[in-house]
Homo-oligomer: A and B are copies of this chain.
Amino acid sequence: MDLPNFTDVQAAAERIRPLVKRTPVMTCNHLNELSGAELLFKCENFQTMGAFKFRGACNALFGGKAEDLSGGVVTQSSGNHGAALALAARRRGIPAHVVMPENSVPVKVEAVRGYGATVHFCAANQTARDAMTAQIQAQTGAVLVHPYNDSAIIAGQGTAALELLDEVGRLDVLMAPVGGGGLMSGTALAGRGVDQGMRIVGAEPAGADDAWRSLRAGVITPVEKPDTIADGLRATLGPRPFVLLTELGVEILTVDEAAIVAAMRLIWERMKLVIEPSSAVPLAAVLSYPEQFAGRRVGIILTGGNVDLGALPW
C-alpha cells in the first residue's frame, strides 16, 4: 500500500498555503498551572469550515491525489470530512458527492449542501454506503476520497502539526486525538520529521479505544459499539494509519467520558474557545496522567469547533 512520508507533508503545506488559514497557537495560564505542563494549543477550530479536515481535503483536491479529478469526488461522511470535501471541491470547481445515512442530523446535511455538494442518502449501514458510492463512481467518474485511509488526506492533516512546530519550536510531546487515524498519522509524520526524539501521543476515548487495542495486538482491532461523546472519534483506525502509527512509535492514552467533558468545559470556560468534544480528548489525557506531562512542553491540536449549539438555553 502507498504511504505518505514527511516530504509529502511538507509538499502539502506548500500546496495548501494559499487555501487554508494559518491558525493561531494559544496558551492558558490556568491550564498550565492545573497541569504543571506548558500547553500550546493549535486552534484548528478557527480553520475554514471549522476543522482541520479542510487541510486534507484541499491537499487531495489541489494536486495531492494522483488521479484525474475532472469527474468530481465522492466520499462517505456524516461529519466534518463531507463538509470539508464539499468546500474544497467548490474552490477547485469540480463536483462533490457525499453519501450520508438517511438518519443524518439535518444541520449536517445542510452544511454539506451549503458548501455546494450533492447529498446522496442511503440506509445507515456500510453495505448500503459502499453500494451507493460505487454507483456514483460508475455514473459520474468521481474519484473516492476516503476520510482518513488516504495518503493525500493524511499528508494534508499533518500540516497543522508542521505549522505548530514551526511556530513554537522544540516540544517534548506532540498530541492529537485518534479517530480513523488520518490526523494522528499526519501529526506523527510531521513530528518525527522535525524531531526523532519527541514523544508523539494519540489520545483516545476509552469507549472507542480501537487504536489502543490495535497497536497492542499488532492487528486492527475494531470496537464493536463505540460509545463516546467525542463523535469525531468513533471511526475504526484505517489500514494506512495503523501502519504509520506502528512504524512511527505513536503511544496511545485512553481517557474516560467524565475526563473528556471536564476538559471540554475547561477549554470553553478558561480559553473562551468553542470546540467540539473530540478536541478536548488530548487535554483530558494530560489531566488524567499528570505525571507523564508535568514540566514538559506539550503541543496539542484542537481539532475543530463544529458542535451543535441547538441545545444552548438561548
Contact = CB atoms under 8 A, between A and B. Distances in A.
Interface residues of A, number: 22
Given A268-B274, A273-B272, A274-B268, A311 B313 contact: yes
Given A272-B50, A274-B273, A265 B309 contact: yes
Q: How many copies, total?
A: 2
A252 B312 CA distance: 29
B45 A272 contact: yes
Given A24-B24, A261-B314, A314-B261, A309 B269 contact: yes
A229 interface: yes
B274 A229 contact: no
A305 B265 contact: no
Interface of A: 24, 26, 45-46, 50, 229, 261, 264-265, 268-269, 272-275, 277, 305, 309, 311-314
24 contacts: A26-B46, A45-B272, A46-B272, A50-B272, A229-B314, A261-B314, A264-B314, A265-B309, A265-B312, A265-B314, A268-B274, A268-B309, A268-B312, A269-B274, A269-B309, A272-B274, A272-B275, A272-B305, A273-B273, A274-B274, A277-B314, A311-B312, A311-B313, A312-B312
